[in-house]
Amino acid sequence: MSLLTLGGGCFWCLEAVFSHMIGVASVVSGYAGGDVDNPTYNAVCSGSTGHAEVIQIKYDEKVTSVTELLDVFWEVHDPTTLNRQGNDIGTQYRSVIYYADEAQHKEVLNSLEKAKKEFSSPIVTQIEPLDVFYEAEEYHQNYFKNNPNQGYCQVVIKPKVDKFKKVFKEKVLK
């Protein structure tokens, strides 16, 4: 199993999308990219820790690839808006890819070049090596699955999951 860590707005959104993807063994919501050890959700939301809300995907390279994961990533969030996804605003919502090693870094850069052709505005996604990943509090894990009727889930998350299922039909878990 391999790991890829992504940030693209609220971690609940990305977690919900990638948890429906073939080849993904697990998706964990958490924090990365900051300078505070063991950050809390409230601290990250304050913008004072430097962390982004991220997900860490554990995936089977025999079933899916970094490129396929990133194809979904580019599709389900807007990588052209700086520190924002919809009404979620702040550095903690930045678009970011944290790569695990140099081989993965190369795949990320190739995917970025391909994605640039799909957007009319410049992509502002940060690409950095993963230093430390901190798992978010338990109530953030599987948020969409556990709270499907909550307002944010219906208005923001569900449309992203539906888009994934429509655009990537062959990648959806049955």
DSSP string for residues in 61-84: TTT--HHHHHHHHHHHS-TTSTTE
Mind listing the pLDDT tens digit for each residue in 116-128?
Answer: 999 999 999 999 9
- What is the value of pTM for the model shown? 0.94
pLDDT at 174: 83
Listed residue (5, 17, 20, 106) closest to 56, CA to CA: 5
**Annotated catalytic, 10?**
yes
Assigned token pair, 113 = 């070049």
Listed residue (23, 27, 8) closest to 76, CA to CA: 8
pLDDT at 75: 96
Residue ranges in the chain modelled with pLDDT below 50: none
Residue listed under structure tokens 């599709």: 75
| Residue of 10, 13, 45, 153 with catalytic role | 10
Mean pLDDT for the chain overall: 96
pLDDT at 42: 95
pLDDT at 86: 87
| 2-171: CATH number | 3.30.1060.10
The C-alpha atoms of residue 165 and residue 100 are separated, in whole angstroms, by: 27
Mind listing the pLDDT tens digit for each residue in 66-91?
Answer: 999 999 999 999 999 999 998 899 99
For 13, 43, 44, 131, 135, the CA distances from 76, given in Å and listed in that order, are 9, 26, 23, 25, 22
